[in-house]
Amino acid sequence: MAQYLIRRLIITIVTLIAISAVVFSILALAPGDPLSEFATNPNVPPEVRQRIRESFGLDQPVHVQYYKWAANYVQGDWGNSFSTRGPVSDIVSDRLPVTLGIVGTAFAISLMIAIPIGVISALKQYSLFDQMATTFAFLGFSLPTFFSGLVVIFIFTIKLGWFNSVYDSTVTGLWPNFKQSIMPIAVLALAGSASLTRFVPPRCSK
C-alpha cells in the first residue's frame, strides 16, 4: 500500500508539472501578452512599454519564464492579479474554503455511491446490475467533467431555470449557498463515483 501511494504521488507530481509546463507554454506562445493593453494606449511610450516588459521578464525565453514562475510558485509568490491589482494568493485563499467544501462533499458522495455499487457488482458477477455498473463506470470515467457540466447547465439552468450557472461568492444563507452548490457537487460526485467504481474486486473464475 505504501509503495502504491508513493508511486501515485510521484505520478501526480510529474503530471502536474507537465500540465503546468504545457499550459504555460501555450499561454506564452499565444498572440499577445498580459501587457498587450499598453500597446494600444498612445499615452504609453514604446520605451516605457519595453521597460515594463523587462520588469516582468516577458522579454526572456519561454523556458526561463517558466523556471522563474515555478520557483516563485513553490516559494509562495504567485504574483499580482492585473484585474484586482492584488496578490493572487489572496484571491486563491478567499475562494479555497468554498472549493474545498464543494470538492470534499462531492468526494464523500462519490464514496457513498461507489462503494455499494462496487460491492454489489462484485457479489453479483455477470448479472444485469454488474453490467449496468460497468457501463456507468465506463461512461462516467470517459466523459470529461467540463462536458457533463455543460450538459447539466443546459438542462437545469437554460431549459428548466432551476439553478444559476455562475457561483456567487457574495451570497449569504445556508439554503442559497447549498442551492448554487448542487450542480457542481453533482457533476463532480458522478464523475468521482464512476472513477471509483472501476476499482471493484477482481472477478473470480468459476
Which residues make beta-bridge pairs with 123? none
Residue 59 is part of which domain span?
2-77
Whether residue 55 is found in the same domain as residue 111: no
Q: Dihedral of CA 49/50/52/56: which sign?
A: positive
**Is 136 in the same domain as 65?**
no
* pLDDT at 205 (0 to 100): 40
Q: Do 106 and 176 lie in a common domain?
A: yes
Of 48, 77, 106, which closes a domain?
A: 77
Q: What is the pLDDT of residue 35?
A: 65
Residue 6 in any domain: the answer is: yes
Q: What is the pLDDT of residues 75-122, one digit of tens each?
A: 877 777 777 777 888 888 888 888 888 889 888 988 888 888 877 877
pLDDT band at 201 (very low <50, low <70, confident <90, very high): very low
**Model pLDDT, residue 202:** 46
> Residue range 63-78: average pLDDT?
84
Distance CA 29, CA 38 (A): 18
| In a shared domain, residues 70 and 104 | no
Instruction: Examine the domain organization and report whether 15 and 73 are in the same domain.
Output: yes
Q: Angle at the Cα of 107 (from 94 to 101), degrees rounded to 5?
A: 20
* 68 assigned to some structural domain: yes
Distant-in-sequence, close-in-space partners of 183: CB < 8 Å, separation ≥ 6: 149, 152, 153, 156, 157, 163, 165
